[in-house]
Structure 1
Amino acid sequence: MSGFPPPQGEFGPPPAPAYAYPPQVSGPSEQMLANQGARLGARLLDILFVFVLMAVVAGGSALVHAMAPGSEALGVITGVIAIISLVVLVFHEPFMNWKFGGTLGKQICGLRVARLEDGRNISLGRAFGRFLVVFPMGFVPFLSLLNLLWCCWDKPYRQCLHDKAATTVVVKRAP
């Protein structure tokens, strides 16, 4: 036996084999995952809350128009109401997911949106990214339904398409 290392080829040791797929991240256990019924219930509650909020805003706008018909300020008031409605619509879900771990519907159903890699609450940026994937799907026929149903057959984390895009997972809230 000589004291030399084994031959390694002209350019050093052979490269490590590349993975065909990235290694699996460790995620939540099956018991921690939210079930599909609770997720659907939370989404329906959120839709109901947004609908009620928009109805209140529309009713307030109609009331303002009825109280001051023909006023030039109506255009400004209507514009302000429209901007406030748009801000609430766009910022509500990301803000709630970031600040409180879930929307009001998710909180009522005992659910929380978490980072897949470590289970911590998601950042505001990730919450907006998640929303920017799910929101436009609502304008494409059947895509929003496909997105919501995706968690029924997804393995192992029951993720919807917007969860996959943002690397998030919906889990049960700790008691």
Structure 2
Amino acid sequence: MTQPPQGPSPGDRFWKPPQDQPPGPYGGGGWPPPYGGHYPGHPGSPWEYRDPAAGLAGRWARLGAALIDLILLAAVIGLVTFPFIDYGRVFRTPGGETGYLPTGQWVANFLSIVIAFLYYWLTTYKWGRTLGKQVLGIQVVRAADGGPVTQGQAAGRAAFFTVLGGLCGCIGFLDVAWILWDDRRQALHDKVAQTVVRKIEPGAPDPYAGR
């Protein structure tokens, strides 16, 4: 039996004999293009090496998409929470006193989290991408096979990112920063939901088509 080349062992998550690889949504067996191929220098080997970052969205693309989404959400949330803010107090008070009406801050914070959660959950489940991801040409898919995410995966990603991030800013910062050193450019909410963010290749089938 042909032995795999030196490097990751057969048990490594990025190594699978072709007969053990699940069929991909792009046709054929194994991890769907453009996620992987034969290990360099070993053409025709029965073992295939999948570069963990091949075909995935770049870090700057992910950060750019997140920035677009945050600007969009800030505008929507600002309009929704407008009735709970006393802007006269905001401009009159030099400091120390907030401009929120009584209990308004709690209501505004709650509405902010709910709006953000619904936005990320519904857009990710329906299309695999928020408006920011649409602009940058990237899409969320299942890490296991590149297929569309489930309701639970979309909700899990959104909850981790918005609810935990909204309650604790340090968690939200660490969540996003994780893509800077992760080999698959996953944020912590991707780890939780078992998703990755891929580039949308021109002409490639959309796994969310018909959903």
TM over 0.5: yes
SS at match of 1:133: helix
Going from structure 1 to structure 2, the CA distance change for 1:84 and 1:151 (only over 3 Å counts) comes to: closer
Structure-2 separation of matches of 1:84 and 1:146? 23
What residue is the counterpart of 2:167 in the other structure? 139
Pair 1:31–1:23, CA change in 2 (3 A): closer
Q: What percentage of aligned pairs have identical amino acids?
A: 34
Give, in whole Å, the separation in 1 of the partners of 2:71 and 2:179. Answer: 21
In 2, Cα distance between equivalents of 1:117 and 1:57:
38
Bigger RCO (CA 8 Å, 6+ sep): 1
Higher helix share: 1
Alignment-derived partner of residue 24 in structure 1? 13
State the Cα deviation string for residues 39-94 of structure 1 (Å, max 9, x = none).
001111111111111122245x48xxxxxxxxxxxxxxx9xx97987653321111
Structure 1: how far apart are the matches of 2:112 and 2:182? 34
Unaligned residue ranges in structure 2 (runs of 5+): 1-10, 16-30, 37-52, 85-103, 203-211
- Kept in 1, the 8 Å contact 2:156–2:193? The answer is yes
What is aligned with 1:14?
none
What stretches of structure 1 of length at least 5 have no aligned partner?
A: 1-21, 63-77
Number of equivalenced pairs? 138
Equivalent position of 2:116 in the other structure:
89
Structure 2 length normalisation: TM-score?
0.57
Question: Which has the higher Rg, Structure 1 or Structure 2?
Answer: 1
Contact 1:25–1:117 (Cα < 8 Å) also in 2: no
1:129 is aligned to 156
Map of 1:33 onto structure 2: 56
Give the superposed CA RMSD: 2.9
1:48 equivalent among 36, 49, 71: 71
What is the rounded CA distance, in whole Å, between the counterparts of 1:117 and 1:25 in structure 2? Answer: 11
